[in-house]
Amino acid sequence: MKKFLASLSIILALGSVCRADVWPDGSKMDKWFTSKGEKVSGKQARRFVLTDYGVVKDSTLLQTEAIQKVIDLAAEQGGGTVVVPEGVYLTSSLFFKSGTHLYLEKGSVLKGSDDVSDYAIVPVHIEGVIQPYIAALVNAYDVDGFSVRGEGVIDGNGLRYWRDFWTRRKVNPKCTNLEALRPRLFYAAGSNNVTLEGVTLRNPGFWTTHFYKCDHVRIKDIVIFAPKSPIPAPSSDGVDVDACNNVHISGCRFQNSDDLIAIKGGKGPWADTDPDNGTNSNILIEDCWFGPGSAMVTFGSECVGGRNIILRNCVGAGSSRVLWLKMRPDTPQKYEYILVENITGTVGNFFYVHPWTQFFDLKGREDIPMSYGEHITMRNCTVTCTRKAIDIVENPDQYLLSDIVYENLTLTETEEAKAQQARPQHKGGASHEWSGGPENKNR
């Protein structure tokens, strides 16, 4: 039995100095994080307007092949920006090449097919493993400098996928994402200098955006939405950061039926030795609005680790949690150097740490791999909590928490939160609860 050694430093101090250019571990933040970002220029700025190349405004006609030809033409001619003009255009999986970009004009909608058989099957890092899965609506593999910009909409048209998922769950309560095949809205893998700016992403069949092993990702001023009613959009994560470095998320609005931002990277008893997995580092999230969703930032449920993660200057408006550490007993995890500051608004829990046992599988390993959460600072926040503000389950056989600092926090629990704490509490880890629909067991 490993002895639980947690050091919780509760510091109530005013007037602390926040150095915006330094990461929580003391290393200097690259100037890239304060730059405005590069605009598309040269050959890559040439406009390839879909309707100039035979694509028609028709929300009922599947035009994947015609749109892909425009993308390929832009790539063959040395690069260009594929422009979606006003109107609704139905498509399935599209693959962008090096030197190409996507621009959605105001009034335009790139709408996903709701027939999963229309989508390509490609290698995807999912459930902690690279394996064949349904391609996203917009895909970028191994590119440098890809961007999606504009004032238009990418709509996953997810209603049919949501209905199918919940029907499968009625038949098989242990149904996973691998069985309920659904397309994500956006996927970038092995890519550098990826930008999403200005667009609205809504109604994903599955995760909204997924970045795997990418470096220098900028997500700015976008809107992400998935409904909780009348049919909840299951596993509709807003941004999934999966083994990435240098990610800047700013000025965005999130509202969905699952994690608003999820830090991923792999799972399993030897996940930290698998080269297909990886930790995440240098992630800055600031000036965002977080509506309903499981948490502003969640570590897990498939995450090896994260280092230097900052969440600051954000507003909660019904998010279930601010920071959630999902501690898997079948995965070695290390969550370290995390800073949460200047958060306001109303949420469920402010800080939530529980074991996460869904789909537990040690794969023959005889011991429980140890996990760690350390060097976590939460300061200068004024938040109303509708549940227990700080809800931490200690489990020293599985994980150790240390160097957790609370500084200048004003956390006000509502009468509802106090009444909940007065009632007998569920024992044994996370209850996986969420509001707005059937129990979501597939985060």
pLDDT of 34 over the 70 cut: yes
Go through 224-256 and write b for each residue having 16 or more CB atoms within 10 A of its CB, e for each that does not: bbbbbeebbbbbbbbbbbbbbbbbbbbebbbbb
Question: Is 56 a residue whose pLDDT tops 80?
Answer: yes
Closest by CA to 102, choosing from 128, 79, 129, is: 79
| pLDDT at residue 128, as a whole number | 83
DSSP bridge pairs for 314: 343
In a domain, 14, yes or no: no
Look at residue 38 in the predicted model and tell me its pLDDT.
87
Q: Which helix (H) or strand (E) holds 308?
A: strand 305-327
Q: Would residue 308 count as lying in a domain?
A: yes
Rounded-to-integer distance, Cα 191 and Cα 136, Å: 15
Tokens 């600051």 -> residue: 312
Mean pLDDT computed over 365-374: 95
Bridge-based pairing state of the strands 100-104 and 80-84: parallel
CA 35, distance to chain mean position in Å, is 23
Look at residue 19 in the predicted model and tell me its pLDDT: 55
Domain annotation covers residue 434: no
Domain extent for 130 = 22-422
169 in any annotated domain? yes
Q: What is the pTM of this model?
A: 0.92
Encoded amino acid at 351, one letter? F
- Determine, yes or no, domain membership for 6: no
Q: What CATH number is associated with residue 73?
A: 2.160.20.10
pLDDT above 90: residue 395: yes
Task: Please tell me the distance from the alpha carbon of residue 357 to that of residue 118, in angstroms, as a whole number.
Answer: 34
User: 257: closest CA among 28, 7, 433?
Assistant: 433
Backbone φ and ψ of 32, nearest 5°: -55, -35
| Residue 112, both tokens | 């996903």
Counting the structural domains of the chain, the total is: 1
| 312 pLDDT above the threshold of 60 | yes
For residue 424, pLDDT beyond 90 = no
Distance (Å, rounded) from C-alpha 190 to C-alpha 143?
Answer: 7
Compute the CA torsion angle 313, 314, 316, 322 (nearest 10 deg): -80
What percent of the chain is modeled with pLDDT above 90? 83
Provide mean pLDDT across the span 112-125.
98
Predicted confidence (pLDDT) per residue in 279-295, tens digit: 999 999 999 999 999 99
Tell me the pLDDT tens digit for each residue of 145-199: 999 999 999 999 999 999 999 999 999 988 888 889 999 999 999 999 999 999 9
Residue 1 inside a domain? The answer is no
Comparing 4-18, 294-308, 335-349, the range with the smallest average pLDDT is 4-18
pLDDT mean across residues, the chain: 91
Q: Is 222 helix (H, G, I), strand (E, B) or coil?
A: coil
Q: Look up tokens 């897990």; give the residue.
A: 300
Q: Which pLDDT value is given to residue 425?
A: 61
The predicted pLDDT at position 7 comes to 35
Output the pLDDT for position 140: 98
pLDDT tens readout for residues 193-251? 999 999 999 999 999 999 999 999 999 999 999 999 889 999 999 999 999 999 999 99
> Is 11 among the domain residues?
no
pLDDT average, residue stretch 107-118? 98
Is 12 a member of any domain? no
What pLDDT shows up at residue 86? Answer: 98
Which whole number is the average pLDDT over 99-106? 98
pLDDT at 357: 86
Q: How far apart are the first and last CA of the chain?
A: 30
Report residue 20's pLDDT band, with 50, 70 and 90 as the boundaries.
Answer: low
pLDDT of residue 63: 98
Tell me which residue of 241, 314, 333, 316 sits closest to 282, measured CA to CA: 241
CA–CA separation, 178 and 141 (whole Å)? 21
What are residue 238's DSSP bridge partners? none
Peptide bond into 230 cis (omega under 30): yes
